[in-house]
Amino acid sequence: MEGSRYDRPVVHGRWGGTMSDSLTRASGIVFDLDGTLVDSTYVHTLCWWEALQQFGHSRPMAAVHHTVGMGSDHLLHHLLGDSRERAQDPEITAAHDVLFGTWHERLHPLPAARVLLNWCRDAGLTVALASSGGERDLWAMLEVLDHPDFDVIVTGDDVDSTKPDPDVLGAVLERAGLEADDVMVVGDSVWDMEAAARIGSVAIGVATGGTSAAELESAGAELTFQDLAALLDALQDARPEPAPGVWGTRP
């Protein structure tokens, strides 16, 4: 792997073979949204921090950042604990949503996100989206990505419990007709990795949301990459070259 852009050397995949085996055998790929495809992790951090402040809860920004990737159901419990005034949960969440909405037009896709999505579809993979966020922000994010053609989209509004519980992934598998061990799950947070590991899919971490490769691996990532371009390089090396898609080939 010398000279590659991988965050760190990766030798083994879940099938007991090489990294190429892990990337070659799957027939589906499931992407997280915030911090994985769209550069929004730190925006969410700021908006949750401010929303908490509005209701008298002061938490370190680093602690808030660590929870991004969970849905509000788990995030507020993680930050405020069992003794919190639960009646405030919807109000704090609504405050975050209003704040985040002011950023919609300033959000950008992460480098190589659009090309990676296109390449995966051209390669014959089932391409799905599994986000702990709700539908309120989903459509703004899809617009940022130029409305990619996902086979399946599941949000936190569709399930009883968000990441790190694997419910969103389970819903994707059910709708797509795929088995857990036939799917790669790509995410930037420890909660993505935990959810993928719990359901039995290949967890692929990308260090695009401020979480290190070491943290992602500790949470269950079987492969880690510095960015989406490095993941795309690895997929191109591991799988047959697809025909050019609507966005063309990678520059």
Q: Which pLDDT band, with edges at 50, 70 and 90, does 24 fall under? A: confident
pLDDT in tens, 167-218: 999 999 999 999 999 999 999 999 999 999 999 999 999 999 999 999 999 9
Amino acid at 10: V
Local structure of 70: helix, strand or coil: strand
Give the per-residue pLDDT at 3. Answer: 38
pTM, two decimal places: 0.89
Number of H helices, E strands in the chain: 11, 6
Report the pLDDT value the prediction gives residue 93, as an integer from 0 to 100. 96
Cα-only R_g, the chain: 18
Per-residue pLDDT reduced to its tens digit, 75-84: 999 999 988 9
| Angle at the Cα of 80 from the Cα atoms of 67 and 83, rounded to 5 degrees | 150
How many other CB atoms are found less than 10 A from the CB of residue 84? 15
Domains of the chain are: 19-39+108-238 (3.40.50.1000), 41-105 (1.10.150)
Quote the CA–CA distance of 32 and 185 in Å, as a whole number.
8
Structure tokens belonging to residue 130: 């599994």
pLDDT tens digit string along 111-133? Answer: 999 999 999 999 999 999 999 99
For 212, other C-beta atoms within 10 Å of its C-beta total 14
